[in-house]
Amino acid sequence: MGEGRSREKPIVGGQAVIEGVMMRGFGKVATAVREPDGNINVQVKTVSSIADRFPILKLPLLRGVVSLFESLILGMKSLSFSAQAAGEEDEQLTDRELIGTIILAIGLACGLFIAVPTFAAKFFHTLTDDPIALNLAEGFLRLIIFLAYLFAISQIKDIQRVFQYHGAEHKTIFCYEADLPLTVENVKKFPRLHPRCGTAFLLIVMLVSIFVFAFLGWPELWIRILSRIILLPVVAGLSYEIIRFSARSQNSFVRLATLPGLWLQYLTTREPDDSMIEVAIKSLEAVTPQS
């Protein structure tokens, strides 16, 4: 996922999908997919945020949680459409199947990034009994698992194609921000690393969780797991506010602090070919007003 903003232009965001790119902006979401016959299939839908109906959800911390869950739902729907359009699935997921898939994905993520590191951290008891030290050890184990996971999936051939589309998404948004015509030649000039990419957000979530969980003590395993799951919305909300602040700040220290999020995108993006850029352009053109 990447987001772009300039002082003149409204925000647009995106996500790589199977053989394509999803873009969101101007109250619409478009998913463009390269079909097996070479044609580009573009699905466009009108979307609105629940925060528009309940303004309280636009408050700091709350808005980050809302944005995360809405992005997750839209992303899964776009992935389902892309799998069908690319010929990998016969039909799209039903709403019930979509909800089940999201619950399963969240459960697996909690198992890998919460249960495993907090269980493994108990072995540090031979070195220290300090709860803060144990929680910090757990946090760093979580970060190592996260980085290892990204590295592992980046070696999978099919995922590498998704990461190429991820790069195409970023480049296209950069071109849009620069107010240049959306052509393949223009888009190719821009970098594939974007400061507001979802990869950077996930890294901030990992880092924020280290400090939030550090002061929870060291109770029994099931209590540790439950407390971390309960506090996930708080961690996500704080991380979202950090991303928003860093996006607006011109402070050199803040810019320096965002570099790890950019470096991590060397794992989650690849240089796209021209055909992938064409797909990303079609997706962005479908949500932006045409002059």
**At what angle are helices 221-248 and 62-85 packed, to 10 degrees?**
90
- Binning pLDDT at 50, 70 and 90, where does residue 264 land? very high
Evaluated on CA atoms 105, 166, 66, 84, the torsion sign reads negative
pLDDT value, residue 1? 52
The mean per-residue pLDDT over the stretch 257-280 comes to 94
pTM of the complete model = 0.90
pLDDT value, residue 4? 45
- Strand pairing category for 28-34 and 2-4: unpaired
State both tokens at 52: 């528009």
pLDDT tens digits for 29-55? 999 999 999 999 999 999 999 999 999
Q: Does residue 169 sit in helix, strand or coil?
A: helix
Domain count, the chain: 1
231 phi, psi to nearest 5 deg = -85, 0
**CA separation for the pair 161, 286 (Å, rounded):** 22
- What domain range is 260 assigned to? 2-287
- Binning pLDDT at 50, 70 and 90, where does residue 230 land? very high
284 phi, psi to nearest 5 deg = -70, -40
pLDDT value, residue 5? 44
Chain centroid to CA 204: 11
Whether 8 shows a pLDDT value over 60: the answer reads no
**CA separation for the pair 70, 214 (Å, rounded):** 29
The mean per-residue pLDDT over the stretch 230-241 comes to 94
State both tokens at 177: 């921000």
**CA separation for the pair 28, 37 (Å, rounded):** 27
Chain centroid to CA 90: 26
**Average predicted confidence (pLDDT) for the chain:** 91
Residue 102 vs residues 71, 111, 158, 202, 248: alpha-carbon distances, Å: 12, 14, 21, 17, 32
Q: Where are the alpha helices (DSSP H) in the chain?
A: 50-53, 62-85, 95-110, 116-120, 131-153, 157-177, 184-188, 198-213, 221-248, 252-257, 259-268, 274-287
Q: Does residue 238 sit in helix, strand or coil?
A: helix
pLDDT value, residue 90? 67
Per the listing, tokens 């269980």 go with 119
pLDDT tens digits for 172-208? 999 999 999 999 999 999 999 998 888 989 999 999 9
- Binning pLDDT at 50, 70 and 90, where does residue 238 land? very high
